[in-house]
Amino acid sequence: MPILIEGGKPLFGTVESSGARNSALKLIYASMFSNEDIYLENVPRLESIYVDLEIIRSIGGKADWVRNNTLVLNGANLNSHEIPYELGSKYRTTFLLAGPLLFRFGKASLPRFVTSIFKPSPINRIVNTWRSLGISVEEDENYIHLKTEASRSTDIAFKTTTHMGTDNAILSALFVPGDTVINNASEEPEVDDLIDFCNKIGGHVERVEPRKIKVVGTNIFRGTHFQVMSDKAEIVAFSVAALLTNGNIVIRNVDKSALTSFVNFLTKVDANFEFSKDDLRIWHSGSPFTPVDINVSPSPGFVPDWMSYAILLLSQSNGVSLVHDTVYTDRFEFTKDLNRMGARIELIKPSSIGVLPVISDDSYDFDKFGEPSTVARVSGPTKLKGEKIHIIDYRFFNTLVVAALIADGRSELHGFKPMFESIENFLDKLVGLGAELKEN
């Protein structure tokens, strides 16, 4: 079912940011440590969250909606260490159930993540963490099998920063006796949300340095009430949409401290914005933005989830901007669609502009694959026109929606599936702000 979008409509009004999917899903899994009810508030109602809940229920866990965005969760009746393949293979985050299952059963069988869209996700850092904790790892075509035969506390040192690797290390060490130290840990706010949650349910987790986390194992967990943090990516998406449509909106439920590098970006491009308590007002009057160069890097830097929005905005800046992704090699596919709409974005190698190529994924083999083109040279301003777009990489669906909002004429977006939605009620919220779009 295509989504039809008429461009050129400014956005006005107020919108409330939802809970962060990337935080909610791991808090749902971590809840399975407890035999007591956990009330998790501000959970976004997304297809991926529904799959997480179905996984929990399939192995006997309690996962019920008690209010619109509030769940009650409990792991007392978990009855299987094996995640059903047809459910668990949909998302790579299923690996984060390893900790609760190992705590309950001393073993866990986790499906491999299957996708036809992305290259296989490297899991070397996750597997190495398990082995360093004394957890045995056996792999077959469809599953990874774990056992706590000789589990032990340890020091974990990631070569490069990893968000999911840090989450997995915390949850896998939470019940292991002794002190486990995670070095070069991710500084993502969602990791701190997990730390706060684990401590609320009885864990002992502390960020002792910006990139060092200490976990003291325990086997006693309790119930609690906890509110999922707001979605940073949603706030960025609506901010950029307001700016590019020459709109004026207020975004509620905003944690400014989680957006420092984005706020710096807004300042550099000469955007108009102001914070008031938990609100962000953002507006633009139509003049071209100022071009800026960006290094995309793990938090507290300008994180990869924001890169596509920044590139879109910079396509409307008055000059040339360079955006260098130092984390991933495969996050520029959306630029082909933007170029078809009229943008001028060229992918180049870092060395061509005198920059050392850096990739956070320590499994990337430069000798085998060569230097990747991980710098986008964005020339602006350019007039975008409506196009028929087939969504290949769902991670950039929201960015292409925003691009269609500023294009001349009608755009058709094909291939959207609810299971790929990352922002709760994104399209409905845009309509509420004045966007002209519909599912045909």
pLDDT in tens, 316-359: 999 999 999 999 998 999 999 999 999 999 999 999 999 988 88
Residues 6+ apart with CB under 8 A from 438: 3, 4
pLDDT in tens, 402-418: 999 999 999 999 988 87
* CB < 8 Å & 24+ apart, contacts of 267-275: 268/292, 269/313, 269/314, 269/317, 271/239, 271/243, 273/239
Is residue 337 within a helix (H) or strand (E), and if so which, with residue range?
helix 334-340
pLDDT of residue 116: 45
Average pLDDT value for residue range 33-62: 97
Residue 201 has pLDDT above 70, yes or no: yes
What predicted TM-score, i.e. pTM, was given to this entire model?
Answer: 0.94
How far is it, in rounded angstroms, from Cα 215 to Cα 361? Answer: 24
Average pLDDT value for residue range 109-127: 74
Q: Show the tokens assigned to 415.
A: 């291939």
pLDDT, averaged across the chain: 95
Residue 162 has pLDDT above 70, yes or no: yes
pLDDT of residue 121: 60
How far is it, in rounded angstroms, from Cα 428 to Cα 407? Answer: 19
- CATH of range 3-18+230-439; options 3.30.70.420, 3.40.1670.10, 3.65.10.10, 3.10.180.10: 3.65.10.10
- The answer to whether 408 touches 9, Cβ cutoff 8 Å, is no
pLDDT in tens, 425-437: 999 999 999 999 9
pLDDT in tens, 225-244: 999 999 999 999 999 999 99
Among 16-30, 104-118, 303-317, the least confident range: 104-118
Among 20-29, 123-132, 261-270, the least confident range: 123-132
Residue 308 has pLDDT above 60, yes or no: yes
Domain boundary assignment for the chain: 3-18+230-439, 21-227
Average pLDDT value for residue range 16-40: 98
Is residue 182 within a helix (H) or strand (E), and if so which, with residue range?
strand 179-183
Average pLDDT value for residue range 378-397: 94
Average pLDDT value for residue range 279-287: 94
Domains 3-18+230-439 and 21-227 share a fold: yes
Average pLDDT value for residue range 380-398: 94
Closest CA to 345 of 326, 373, 370: 373
Architecture of domain 21-227: Alpha-beta prism (3.65)
Average pLDDT value for residue range 189-196: 98
